[in-house]
């Protein structure tokens, strides 16, 4: 009995979960079907006739033809067409009674869940470019819309990342299976995530609840995931309403809603339905910045069409650039929304558009268009107003007095009606819902009066826990500008003005203040100090982090231009590296136009800044790009502009997006935003305030860095790495190799695992606080990171990557350049310049001479393990032989019966045997495939006393050819196919009178090799 919970055990556990949800179960090898057709045709045909009982048979046939014949295009394009079929039905044409007719053939019944077929199947072989057998498939009405790839929870060398790579491999080898895919799942039990065929691994997300509660979601279990998504009613809802394509030109991105979006959007729709029947207040949808709010609005607008029988939707923003950004997202999803959104060009355009329809339509407008007049735009009840960033001050309900000067220069008092009141008066019977990435202020009563209370809150803490966003950290460098007391007092006054209500007196005072602030913050000496410090901080700490993207937020447009010119003065070769992005005016000086450019130029800059490979790395902004502009790799923001409240929180959220191993975003402060940051956090949830109320890197990241550094030092107690800091490049290289040798010693297995984890945490903490860390400590951290990288390369078992020395050296050199500004190029293994290879005599000779014996053992052990993995799939004799040798050798080593020198000697001997076996096959004129059969035929002792070598080679070649000519998939699991294959093999062996009398066991060994061959042959 095995006491290891294997991948097969986990697979059975997952299958049990689906059985418990009343899915029908099928075992692939027992199902008679066409192995080259990804569709399960009997169930598909049955479902089509059942779901479309009144349609002519030719209509069904046309639908099947369309489902099995997609026009030319890439995989994603075909999948987009299929998803439209799945969500909306297949449009068909057919002839009935001599007339051509059109209709829709539905492949799903979203209203009656029991009218559909749900099958969970495992070991379902499919043949296309090669023979593949995904772990688990979900067939919905005969269509494989979900693929689940599992990895053993008890094997160190496999995890959910391995499952992701497996899925990407399937997409290359069996692409037709993915034409019909709605959701991909990867799981190693500890981590279970869902994504789509266009999702990068970092965009696969967990599903952490079965009821929408955010309680107990920090560590979600695998059963919560499967029951959360695949309970039949919810699964149908997700397929129909929560998977969409965002299409930008030729690029299609397939999006699966996160669990927080699914539950919140459903709540919002229910709340809106209630609002249309009562007070028109649908509520406020608060999902923190970066968590997919714009897409949540798309899902909401889509689902609302069904829930309210095609209402008209008016989307309101408070700025033209935000209107463009949000409109762009809706336009990219127009196929999913089944209508094209439009932008109102004027109030008159908006009025005519609304009066010209009774239902449907999505129109975008800014609040300013409502202020142009006070007449009623429409009195219809089936209008839903979606307000983006619903709590900004412009949404006030109250009438206010505004003082303006007339032509004579005299002050006049005008009554100004709050924009929220104007919108209410313009659309008196509409219902209102607010969407926001930041919370409503506790003092803000008008927002609640317009929209109602919160519908759903997805706070910063939850978003970071879920991997939907990254935390934002803060570093103050105000002191570097050496500002005088008067300037600091002016900045403080600016923050005070921001915090007050915008009454007329405050506004006038603010205008006077602006002019003084402009003069102070724009002073040549101050700009010079600012730019020099930004360049120092960026080049020493941020330039080599991720993609090096950074944003500088300037106080005003003139100051932005001053910063830009000063940077180019100091770095004249940065013309492609830096750009200014801000609004332009007809009154701007002529020299500005060339720098700022027109709208098309700004759009081009946006594309460049979002492109991680583009040389544009630093964007200087004033207001543009501070809301609704996403660049996931952006990790640094330099702030030279007083901001407060939601404006501040929106701005700094530009650096909170998820990107690869980004630890978090860093906001570098030059104008004292710390107090404003704390005040802004007052309206956040209690746990947000506790966790992110004071995000100073000096209080969070730096202590964490010191803590992790101490742990790494303790783990390396007894190893002297002094020469890494003080030696030559050659000595530094040897110190790294020695460090790896130290930590991979067999008695340090637990310490090695702890080191990998803690050294990574050290690297992540340093990425945030490197500017605060003393040079000698950064150097020490660089040593630990170099060792970690090399150990990780050795740990990559199973041939996922060949261990390339040039690649390894390049990675370490990049690390050293980044961490300690070393321009010396080190070579960790100075005499070996190619791949590590068991078949390279020079490499084996170098290994035997290595001083770092533990490192040599790891290299050999992993390379031999790679070769054994190949043998396990192809050659039963060599697999058994060499597996036994390596297991005995390593066990003896671990038990102290062999020295590391003796282990290396045995492993080198084994490597030579593997190399010699390969050469023997070549000398006999046998391919590797044929050599496997030759090995099994010649395995019995004294077999060559009965047959000449030429007879054995003839038998080998004929056996291989016979198997190839009569191959059958899964023959070893089907009684009839297995019997036929055995009969063919026995007949051939009998012809050669094999095996000799008394060696009958040889027959079983041959059959085992044939089974191995049939199971892994490429069809």
Per-residue model confidence as pLDDT tens digits over 478-503: 878 777 777 777 777 666 666 554 44
Mean pLDDT for 666-688 is 84
Residue 1006 neighbours by CB distance under 10 Å: 21
Which pLDDT score, from 0 to 100, does residue 612 have? Answer: 93
* CA dihedral sign, ordered 12, 17, 19, 24: negative
User: What confidence tier does 512 reach under pLDDT thresholds 50, 70, 90?
Assistant: low
Residues 153/189, Cβ–Cβ less than 8 Å: yes
User: What confidence tier does 420 reach under pLDDT thresholds 50, 70, 90?
Assistant: confident
Q: Which two tokens stand for residue 16?
A: 């049990």
Residue carrying the six token digits 């930008």: 248
Which pLDDT score, from 0 to 100, does residue 828 have? Answer: 46
Q: Which of 353-357, 546-550, 726-730, 826-830 has the lowest mean pLDDT?
A: 826-830
Mean pLDDT of the chain: 83
Beta partners for 472?
A: 665
Which pLDDT score, from 0 to 100, does residue 980 have? Answer: 75
Which pLDDT score, from 0 to 100, does residue 647 have? Answer: 84
Q: Which two tokens stand for residue 244?
A: 């969409």
Q: Is 644 left (phi over 0), alpha (psi -120 to 50) or beta?
A: beta
Is pLDDT of 406 > 80?
no
Which pLDDT score, from 0 to 100, does residue 843 have? Answer: 61
Is pLDDT of 818 > 60?
no
CA 893 distance to own-chain centroid: 41
Beta partners for 579?
A: 619
Which pLDDT score, from 0 to 100, does residue 2 have? Answer: 42
Is pLDDT of 953 > 80?
yes
Q: Which two tokens stand for residue 72?
A: 């030319």
Q: Is 31 left (phi over 0), alpha (psi -120 to 50) or beta?
A: beta
CA distance linking residue 796 with residue 789, whole number of Å? 11
User: What confidence tier does 863 reach under pLDDT thresholds 50, 70, 90?
Assistant: low
CA distance linking residue 618 with residue 568, whole number of Å? 12
Q: Which two tokens stand for residue 983?
A: 């009969």
What size, in residues, is the chain? Answer: 1019
Q: Looking at residue 620, what DSSP letter applies?
A: E
Coil, strand, or helix at residue 139? strand
CA 666 distance to own-chain centroid: 20
Which pLDDT score, from 0 to 100, does residue 972 have? Answer: 46
Which pLDDT score, from 0 to 100, does residue 799 have? Answer: 38
CA distance linking residue 312 with residue 305, whole number of Å? 9
User: What confidence tier does 394 reach under pLDDT thresholds 50, 70, 90?
Assistant: very low
CA distance linking residue 575 with residue 86, whole number of Å? 49
659: Cα within 13 Å, side-chain hemisphere: 23
Which pLDDT score, from 0 to 100, does residue 382 have? Answer: 93
Residues 955/937, Cβ–Cβ less than 8 Å: yes
Q: Which two tokens stand for residue 258?
A: 């996160």
Which pLDDT score, from 0 to 100, does residue 254 have? Answer: 97
- Reported as a single tens digit per residue, the pLDDT across 301-311 is 999 999 998 89
Which pLDDT score, from 0 to 100, does residue 88 have? Answer: 96
Q: Which of 674, 698, 695 is nearest to 769 (CA)?
A: 698
Residues 535/498, Cβ–Cβ less than 8 Å: no
- Reported as a single tens digit per residue, the pLDDT across 606-631 is 999 999 999 999 999 999 999 878 89
- Reported as a single tens digit per residue, the pLDDT across 316-331 is 987 776 778 899 999 9
Q: Is residue 509 packed enough to be buried (19+ CB in 10 Å), middle (13-18) or exposed (0-12)?
A: middle
Mean pLDDT for 433-440 is 88
Residues 681/689, Cβ–Cβ less than 8 Å: yes
Residues 304/313, Cβ–Cβ less than 8 Å: yes
What are the Cα distances from residue 837, in Å, to 347, 861, 919?
A: 72, 12, 15
Q: Which of 342, 350, 336 is nearest to 323 (CA)?
A: 342
763 or 841, greater pLDDT: 763
What are the Cα distances from residue 664, in Å, to 164, 380, 390, 727?
A: 24, 47, 27, 34
Element (H, E) at 580: strand 578-581
Residues 782/816, Cβ–Cβ less than 8 Å: yes
Residues 263/212, Cβ–Cβ less than 8 Å: yes
Q: Which of 317, 337, 178 is nearest to 247 (CA)?
A: 337
Q: Looking at residue 956, what DSSP letter applies?
A: H
Element (H, E) at 399: strand 399-405
Mean pLDDT for 509-537 is 82
Q: Which residues of 715-731 are buried (b: 16+ CB within 10 A; e: fewer)?
A: bbeeeebebbeeeeeee
Mean pLDDT for 580-600 is 89
Is pLDDT of 233 > 50?
yes
Backbone angles phi, psi at 95, to 5 degrees: -110, 135
* CA dihedral sign, ordered 359, 363, 366, 372: negative
Q: Which of 962, 957, 960 is nearest to 983 (CA)?
A: 962
Residue carrying the six token digits 């084996």: 844
CA distance linking residue 111 with residue 115, whole number of Å? 9
- Reported as a single tens digit per residue, the pLDDT across 956-995 is 888 888 877 776 555 545 556 667 777 888 888 888 888 8
**Sheet with 472-476: strands ordered across:** 472-476, 665-669, 636-640, 550-554, 618-621, 578-581
CA distance linking residue 779 with residue 772, whole number of Å? 13
Pairing of strands 550-554, 431-436: unpaired
CA distance linking residue 220 with residue 194, whole number of Å? 13
């Amino acid at each position: 009995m095995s006491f290891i919970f294997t991948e097969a055990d986990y697979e059975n556990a997952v299958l049990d979960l689906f059985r418990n949800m009343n899915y029908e179960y099928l075992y692939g090898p027992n199902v008679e079907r066409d192995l080259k057709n990804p569709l399960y045709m009997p169930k598909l045909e049955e479902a089509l006739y059942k779901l479309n009982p009144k349609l002519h048979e030719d209509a069904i046939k046309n639908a099947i033809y369309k489902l099995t014949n997609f026009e030319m295009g890439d995989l994603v394009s075909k999948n987009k067409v299929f998803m439209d079929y799945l969500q909306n039905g297949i449009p068909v044409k057919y002839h009935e009674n001599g007339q051509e007719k059109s209709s829709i053939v539905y492949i799903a019944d979203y209203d009656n869940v029991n009218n559909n077929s749900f099958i969970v199947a495992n070991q379902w072989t499919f043949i296309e470019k090669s023979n593949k057998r995904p772990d688990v498939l979900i067939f919905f009405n005969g269509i494989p819309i979900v693929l689940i790839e599992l990895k053993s929870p008890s094997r160190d060398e496999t995890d959910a990342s391995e499952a992701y790579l497996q899925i990407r491999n399937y997409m290359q080898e069996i692409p037709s299976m993915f034409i019909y895919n709605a959701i991909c799942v990867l799981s190693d039990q500890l981590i279970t995530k869902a994504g789509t065929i266009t999702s990068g691994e970092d965009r696969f997300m967990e599903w952490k609840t079965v009821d929408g509660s955010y309680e107990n979601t920090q560590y979600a279990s695998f059963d919560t995931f499967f029951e959360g998504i695949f309970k039949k009613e919810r699964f149908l809802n997700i397929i129909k309403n929560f998977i969409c394509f965002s299409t930008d030109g030729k690029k299609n991105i397939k999006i699966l809603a996160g669990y927080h979006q699914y539950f919140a959007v459903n709540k919002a729709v229910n709340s809106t339905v209630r609002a249309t029947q009562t007070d028109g207040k649908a509520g406020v949808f608060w999902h923190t910045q970066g968590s997919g709010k714009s897409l949540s609005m798309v899902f909401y607008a889509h689902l609302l069409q069904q829930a309210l029988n095609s209402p008209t939707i008016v989307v309101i923003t408070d700025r033209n650039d935000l209107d463009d950004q949000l409109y762009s997202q809706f336009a990219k999803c127009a196929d999913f929304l089944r209508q094209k959104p439009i932008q109102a060009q004027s109030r008159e355009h908006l009025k005519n558009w609304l009066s010209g329809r009774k239902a449907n339509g999505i129109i975008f407008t800014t609040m300013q268009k409502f202020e142009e007049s006070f007449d009623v735009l429409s009195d219809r009840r089936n209008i839903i107003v979606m307000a983006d960033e619903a709590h900004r001050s412009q949404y006030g309900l109250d009438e206010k007095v505004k003082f303006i000067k007339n032509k004579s220069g005299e002050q006049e008092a005008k009554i100004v009606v709050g924009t929220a009141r104007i919108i209410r008066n313009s659309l008196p019977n509409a219902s209102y819902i607010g969407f926001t990435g930041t919370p409503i202020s506790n003092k803000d009563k008008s927002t609640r009066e317009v929209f109602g209370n919160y519908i759903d809150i997805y706070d910063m803490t939850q978003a970071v826990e879920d991997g939907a966003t990254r935390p934002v950290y803060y570093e103050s460098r105000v002191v570097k500008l050496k500002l005088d007391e008067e300037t600091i007092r002016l900045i403080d006054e600016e923050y005070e003005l921001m915090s007050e209500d915008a009454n007329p007196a405050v506004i006038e005072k603010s205008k006077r203040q602006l002019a003084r602030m402009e003069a102070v913050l724009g002073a040549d000496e101050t700009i010079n100090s600012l730019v020099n410090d930004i360049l120092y901080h960026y080049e020493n700490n941020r330039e080599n982090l991720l993609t090096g993207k950074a944003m500088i937020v300037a106080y005003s447009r003139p100051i932005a231009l001053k910063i830009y010119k000063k940077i180019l003065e100091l770095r004249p070769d940065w013309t492609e590296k830096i750009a200014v992005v801000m609004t332009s005016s007809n009154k701007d000086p002529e020299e500005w136009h060339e720098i700022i450019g027109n709208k098309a130029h700004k759009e081009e800059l946006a594309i460049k800044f979002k492109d991680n490979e583009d040389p544009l790395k630093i964007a200087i902004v004033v207001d543009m790009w501070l809301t609704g502009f996403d660049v996931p790799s952006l990790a640094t923001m330099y702030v030279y502009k007083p901001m407060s409240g939601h404006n501040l929180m929106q701005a700094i959220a530009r650096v909170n997006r998820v990107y690869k191993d980004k630890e978090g975003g860093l906001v570098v402060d030059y104008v004292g935003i710390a107090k404003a940051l704390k005040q802004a956090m007052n309206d956040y949830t209690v746990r947000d305030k506790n966790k992110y109320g004071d995000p100073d890197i000096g209080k969070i990241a730096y202590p964490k860095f010191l803590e992790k550094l101490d742990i790494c030092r303790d783990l390396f107690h007894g190893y002297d790495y002094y020469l890494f800091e003080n030696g030559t490049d050659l000595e530094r290289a040897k110190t790294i190799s020695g460090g790896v040798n130290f930590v991979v010693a067999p008695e340090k297995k637990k310490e090695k695992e702890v080191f990998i984890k803690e050294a990574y945490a050290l690297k992540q903490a340093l990425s945030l606080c490197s500017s605060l860390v003393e040079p000698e400590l950064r150097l020490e951290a660089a040593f630990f990171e170099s060792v970690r990288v090399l150990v990780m390369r050795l740990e990559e078992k199973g041939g996922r990557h060949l261990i390339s020395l040039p690649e390894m050296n390049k990675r370490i050199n990049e690390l050293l350049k980044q961490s300690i500004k070393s321009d010396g190029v080190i070579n960790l293994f100075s005499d070996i310049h190619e791949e590590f290879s068991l078949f390279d005599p020079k490499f084996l000779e170098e290994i035997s001479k290595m001083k770092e014996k533990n490192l040599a053992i790891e290299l050999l052990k992993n390379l031999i393990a790679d070769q054994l993995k190949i043998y396990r799939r192809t050659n039963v004799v060599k697999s058994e032989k060499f597996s036994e040798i390596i297991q005995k050798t390593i066990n003896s080593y671990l038990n102290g019966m062999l020295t590391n020198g003796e282990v290396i000697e045995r492993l080198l001997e084994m490597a030579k045997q593997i190399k010699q076996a390969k050469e023997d096959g070549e000398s006999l004129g046998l391919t590797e495939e044929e050599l496997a059969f030759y090995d099994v035929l010649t395995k019995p002792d004294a077999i060559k006393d009965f047959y000449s070598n030429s007879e054995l080679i003839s038998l080998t070649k004929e056996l291989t050819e016979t198997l190839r000519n009569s191959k059958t998939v899964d023959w070893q699991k089907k009684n009839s196919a297995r019997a036929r294959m055995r009969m063919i093999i026995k007949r051939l062996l009998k012809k050669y009178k094999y095996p000799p009398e008394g060696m009958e066991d040889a027959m079983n060994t041959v059959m085992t090799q044939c089974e191995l061959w049939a199971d892994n042959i490429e069809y």
